[in-house]
Every structure is written in C-alpha cells, then in structure tokens.
Structure 1
Amino acid sequence: MTKQKIDPRVIRTRRLLKQAFIDLMEVRAFDEITVQDISDKATVKRATFYLHYKDKNELMIQYIDETLKDLREKVNVQISFLDNFDYLDQQPHPSFVQLFHQIAENFAFYRALLVTNRIPYLTSGLLEIIHEFVSEGINQIEPSDQNLFAKRDLIIKYVESAFLEVIIWWIENNMHYSEHEMAFQLMTLSIKGPYKNNPLKYRSLSAENDANKKPIN
C-alpha cells in the first residue's frame, strides 16, 4: 500500500505549531501555556489549531512520538547493529555518535522538554530507547554472566540511567563537548569504567612500599 500524501499546507501549519510550542516551552512551564498562546505564536487562528490537534497535550505527545521514532530509526538498535565492530579501536561506535547527533539536530526540542521542562513522557520514552541501546550493547560485548561483576539487569539499569543524565547534562551545558567526543567518552566509560588503572590497587601497593621503607627501631 502506498502512503497517502499529506497536503504541504498541513505540513507547514503543523511545523509552525510545533515550533511555536517549543519556543514557548523554552521559557514557560507546560501548565502555563494555552492553545491560544501557541496559536498566536504560530500566527494561525485558534480554530486552525483544532483542525490539527484536539488540545496542547495531543500536540506534545505526537511531537514526542515523532521525534523518538526518528531517533530510534536513526540510532538503529537492531540485533546486528554491533556486528564486526572493533571495540579496541580508539573510535566510538557509529550508533553512539548517531545518538548524540540526533539529539543535537533537535537541540531546542530536547532542551525545552528535558531541561526547561522535564516532561515525564519524553523522559520515559528516551530511556526506553537508551535501554534497548545499552542492553543490546552489553549483551553483544559480554554474553556470559560469569564475566560480569554485577547482575546483568542491574548493570543495564545503572548504565542507562547514567546515559540519560549525561545527555541531560550535555544539553544543559549547550553541548559543550562535540558529538564524537561525547560518544567516545561515554562508550569508554561504559566498557572500561572511569579509571585507566585501578586506583585502589596502586594505593595498596604504595602503602605497602611505604610500610617497607619504615626504619626498624
């Protein structure tokens, strides 16, 4: 079946309404925004708004669904997405880069709905995508539970929660690191942890050496 083409005028009006909604959400709380506010900002009549959405909630939910659908497709969290990738190479996986690239492409949207207003519907939807991304990555890198320090479900929850908060932090700081750097740093942290060398091991060795150097009375 072929998809029915949408009238370009409809596309343009919805784009104006969505942009107006985001512009308002960047400076005001969701509860403070009215349909009239959105219509005025979009320079369309209130009646025109209702031709496309029944209320502001429907506009927001549809916009979030569309954006997350696009993110999921672009990041591509399919079973085969990690095949033949060399994790020893000093490069981030393309899917990691794509994750940050898509967020950067929709920066105003994510800033308005994750930072200025933390909308639970977006947070849970984004976390669901990150969960798929993280769990697939961990399952591909290490399929055996015997080689994990903690329970697999706990590790996945820990990493996905960190991913979400790091993304929010990155947005809050106006994407102060490049997409590539964020992807590489986060991938490295997820696989190796924060330390190049185990600090407890070297602290223990240092303490042992200091003890051996003490003079005997």
Structure 2
Amino acid sequence: MGIYILPSFVLSNKIQRKDRSKLSALFSSEQFVSSVYMQKRDRRISKTKKAIYQAFLQLLNDKGYDATTVQDIIDLADVGRSTFYCHYESKELLLDELCRYLFHHLFEREEHLTIEDYLAHIFLHFQKNQDHVTSLLFSKNDYFLRQLHKELEHHVYPMVADDLQEAYPSIPASYLQHFVVTNFIETLTWWLKKGKSYTEDQVVRFYLDVIEMTSITPLDN
C-alpha cells in the first residue's frame, strides 16, 4: 500500500487555518483581558470621582464654595493631587460638571406631569437638599445661579410664556422671562428659609397664583 502525501498547498492551508484559529483564540483572550481591565479601570475612575464629588459637596455644605480649596477636596476625598488634576483642571471645572449632573436630574420631566407636579418636584428636591443642591443655592455662587437661571429659562418659562406674552404683547419677552425665573428663585429661597410650614404644593400654588394675577387668563395646566 502506497503512502499518500498531501500536496504542499493543502498542508499549508491546514497550518494556516490552525494558526488562524490560535490567533483568533489569542485575540479573543486579549480582548477579554482588555475588557476586564477597562471595566476595572472604569470602576476605579468612577469610585475616585464619586469620592471627589462627595468631598466637594460636603465642603460646600460646611464651608461654602469660595472658602473651599482644591487641597480641602483632596484631603477629604483622600486622593492624590495628581489624581484630582487627572480628572479636573480646577475646582471651577468640577463645579461645572457637578451642575450639569445635578440639573440633568433636577429638571428631568415625565410627559404626564402637570405644571404643578413638575414644579413641586423641583421644590421638593431643593427642600430635601438632595445632592446638596440647596447648599449651592444658599452659597450664592455666581456660576451656579447663572446655570440655574438658564435651566429655568429652558424648562419652566416655556410653560407660562404663551399666556404672559398674550396678556402683555407690548412687554419684551426677555423681561417676562426674567420676571418668571427670578420670582421662581425668590419664591424657592423664601420657602426654604422662612416658609417651611407650607408644603411644596402650596408654595407652587402661591407662585402660579402670582403669575396668573399678571395675566388676563388663567394659566393652563
């Protein structure tokens, strides 16, 4: 019986398939290791940023923004200076990210909510000082107040804009917007400092009643 020798190109193809299989397995293994590493790295980053956030918020509550230094944050968060600056170039940029995070949750609105329910949600969030957002309000920090104004202009003013502009067509829309936003902040501040005997629903009604007094027709829900 003769010995059958496989052609060289067949052997070559088999070797190549075997090599490709090994390479594929190796690549998959490296992908897995890389994925695990990235997950661990992401968790470390998340844990570090959470520690910085919590330290910053506590310091805002205890000392206020202006009196808080980067060194204070580093010490309380128990992170290295290089670690802090790896994530944030300054406490101003930390505040910027914090505001974006807070406002995203604060002004998130479900479609079925009425004006009253939506505003009550905002008032209640401040009353509970969730995420220390009230500490930022009382700190009178210019950046925070500017960002809060912008969010209220974007989310709250449009709810009442049509009625006010119809009632007062000769008054600039920018003034009406300023009126609605500043009165909202003043009402919120009054309630948190002096009006705690009232519920958030009652205070929202006070606010809307004052707005309605300036318009010809009651505001729609």
Q: Give the TM interval when normalised to the shorter protein.
A: 0.5 to 0.7
Q: What amino acid maps onto 1:177 in structure 2?
A: Y
CA distance in 1, matches of 2:50, 2:193: 25
Q: 1:162 to 1:41 in 2, by over 3 A?
A: same
1:156 equivalent in alignment to 2:191: no
- The alignment covers a number of residue pairs equal to 175
Q: Shift of the alpha carbon at 1:161?
A: 0.9
118, 132, 144: which one aligns with 1:109: 132
Does residue 183 (structure 1) correspond to residue 204 (structure 2)? The answer is yes
1:11-22 aligned within 5 A: 11-22=46-57
TM-score normalised by length of structure 2: 0.65
Match of 2:94?
A: 59
2:133 & 2:191 partners in 1: Cα distance? 11
Once residues 191 and 131 of structure 2 are traced to their aligned partners in structure 1, the CA distance between those partners, rounded to angstroms, is 13
CA RMSD of aligned residues (A): 3.1
1:46-70 Cα offsets, whole Å, 9 max, x none, are 3322232122121111101221222
Any idea what the Cα deviations from partners look like across 1:102-124, whole Å, max 9, x if unmatched? 33454452232221x21111111
Higher relative contact order (CA 8 A, sep 6+): 1
In structure 2, C-alpha distance between the alignment counterparts of 1:105 and 1:10, rounded to whole Å: 28
Q: Is the 8 A contact 1:22 1:108 kept in 2?
A: yes
- Which aligned pairs between 1:42-81 and structure 2 lie closer than 5 A? 42-72=77-107, 74-75=108-109
Contact 2:127 2:134 in 1 (8 A): no
**Matched residue SS, 1:32:** coil
| Greater Cα radius of gyration, structure 1 or 2 | 2
- Is contact 1:110–1:171 with CA below 8 Å preserved after alignment? no
- For 2:129 and 2:42, how far apart are their aligned partners in 1? 24
Query: Offset of 1:134 from its aligned partner?
Result: 4.0
Equivalent residue of 1:168, what SS?
helix
Unaligned runs of 5+ in 2: 1-37, 215-221
